[in-house]
Structure 1
Amino acid sequence: MPAAAKAQPTRPSPRATPKPAKSQAGAIRRERSCSVARTLDIVSDAWAFLIIREAFFGTQTFEAFRAALGIPRATLTDRLRKLTQLAIFRQVAPGSSLRKEYRLTKMGFDLYPSFIALMQFGDRWLAGGKPAPLTLVHVSCGCDSHPIVACSHCGESVAARDAKYRDGPGAGRHPAKAGRNTRRASDGNRFQLGRPSSVSRALEIIGDKWSFMVVREGFFGNRRYDKILTELEIAPNILTDRLNRLVASGVLRRRQYQSSPDRYEYLLTDMGRDLYGPFITMLQWGDRWLSKGKPPLLLTHLSCGHDFHASVNCDRCKQPIVAADMRYRLTYDPKAFGALGPRSVDS
């Protein structure tokens, strides 16, 4: 993602390719190539996200996923099949057992920093004054950790105003695919199933395609209704709905810039700008796994002057975090949520 003052930035399904989306006038809608959108295509499906999250907590079998989430069998079968086709999971038959386990691949484990970046955002902004559900413990340094999104070159933290961007070799526009998560789920609370989760809270805000794209336009410097409408080729009623929701959630604020008639622009709040870290972390994952070596966007860190990608680092030892090096202390009783609980350490 670009810095807030400037701007530009889907994983196609391995199965049948959906037809390109059409505008109300019947023309094929074209959208900006974007590695963040490709990442969200996977994790913004509530059930797929919850299954991946449970896998990070050590869940591996069909029955364990079903018990932890209360997910219908047919739905779980469908999502596990799709996540296996996408190479997020691989199926393993341990020993002589005929019962297969679903284990995260390297590609799947590499989603962990994106989940942690979203978790930190949710802890800061969406906890409602309650303790964060998890305290992270970085085994490598033995410290409680509050990971930061950092420059891969200098290791310093990166915020929206600390970077600039330019087009990469994958920049451009392509016909939009139907079937992306364009509608807000009527049961948004589904993201909260199984256990309290700051990642779930974050995805409730940006987890549908249009909400994400509207926030992304804010990072590209597009603030005015007509500009966003033209850039996204979005239906006016959908844009109005998403802008109102994002204002209500505190991600955007509305500012009048004209009267007679009244016109407003939509600016990122401090909370909205703090989504930059999760966005560029998802950008890194999408660039690595879904861009075929042609990232749509290249980022430069203004502080050190070097091109960089997002690295999620322990705030204490400054080393990049990986799932295998992290443990947790819980602020909730997992049994109260029907969950087994993650790999935890004593309080």
Structure 2
Amino acid sequence: MVDMAGAPLGVRPCSMAAALDVLGERWSLLAVREMAYGVHRFARIAAFTGASRDILADRLRKLEAAGVVERRRYSEHPPRYEYHLTAAGRELFPVMVSLLRWGDRWAVDTPAVDVRHTCGRVVDAELRCAHCGEPVTRESLALSPHRDEDARA
């Protein structure tokens, strides 16, 4: 395993940094949130996020170019589009639930919404190892150089 804290100083190559290049601008994740909630029309996404039309149009173009959302035409005359999450966008759902729950605990006095499972209970995000089922904690992590065979195991 690699001692990341003791590594030589320098910009660290990182998938998190690459993800933030796609999603880290203000309004991007909020637009994704709205699509996850089933809101697909531009004007409604703008209204629910509070983003200006110009800014939202820019963020949606970037999300589309990154393969996170896709535009679907719903009117020919005039041409109008809806925005839908791609498979890559739908894979953000656990991240959004985790961020929402973090915000509930640390950023607001009273949560605005509860995210409930079909069983009726409030959903909490917990990261577990897909192999052994144990919870993932900082103490249980070890970093190593990426090997393609690890991704298939």
- Normalising by structure 2, report the TM-score: 0.84
User: Aligned equivalents of 1:57 and 1:296: distance in 2?
Assistant: 38
Equivalent of 1:328, from 122, 133, 143? 143
Structure 1: any 5+ residue segments left out of the alignment?
1-55, 70-193, 333-347
Aligned length: 145
Task: Tell me the C-alpha RMSD between the 2 structures.
Answer: 2.2
- Equivalents in 1 of 2:124, 2:29: separation in Å? 20
The one-letter amino acid of 2:116's match is T
Alignment of 1:236-315 (within 5 A): 236-292=53-109, 294-302=110-118, 304-315=119-130
The alignment-based identity, stated in percent, is: 35
**Aligned residue identity for 1:321:** V
Task: Judge conservation of contact 1:281–1:312 (CA < 8 Å) in 2.
Answer: no
1:207 & 1:268 partners in 2: Cα distance?
A: 17
Deviation digits for residues 184-239 of structure 1 (CA, Å, limit 9, x no counterpart): xxxxxxxxxx2221111111111111112111111121111111222233222211
Q: Which letter maps to 2:135? A: P
Distance 1:239 1:278 in 2: 21
Relative to its length, the structure with more strand (as a share) is: 1
Which runs of structure 2 are paired with 1:180-219 in the superposition (5 Å)? 194-219=11-36
Q: Is the CA contact 1:313–1:320 (under 8 Å) kept in the aligned structure 2? A: yes
- Structure 1 residues 282 and 234, CA gap change in structure 2 (3 angstroms): closer
Report SS of the residue matched to 1:321: coil
Q: Secondary structure of 1:330's partner?
A: coil
Give me the whole-angstrom Cα distance separating, in 2, the residues matched to 1:312 and 1:205: 23
| Residue in structure 2 matched with residue 225 of structure 1 by the alignment | 42
Tell me which structure has the larger Cα radius of gyration.
Answer: 1
Q: How does 1:151-170 map to 2 (within 5 A)?
A: none
Instruction: Tell whether the 8 Å contact from 2:22 to 2:63 is kept in structure 1 after alignment.
Output: yes
Q: Which amino acid aligns with 1:295?
A: P
1:316 partnered with 2:136 = no
Query: Which secondary structure does the structure 1 equivalent of 2:34 belong to?
Result: helix
Query: Which runs of 5 or more structure 2 residues have no equivalent in the other structure?
Result: 148-153
Q: 1:288 to 1:228 in 2, by over 3 A?
A: same
Counterpart of 1:298, as a letter, is: D
Distance verdict in 2 for CA 1:319–1:218, change over 3 Å: same
Q: 1:285 to 1:230 in 2, by over 3 A?
A: closer
CA distance in 1, matches of 2:41, 2:72: 10
- 1:249-292 Cα shifts (integer Å, max 9, x gaps): 11101101011111000001111010011111122222222223
Measured in 1, the distance between the counterparts of 2:57 and 2:40 equals: 13
SS where residue 314 of structure 1 aligns? coil
Listed as ranges, the matches of 1:76-91 within 5 Å are: none
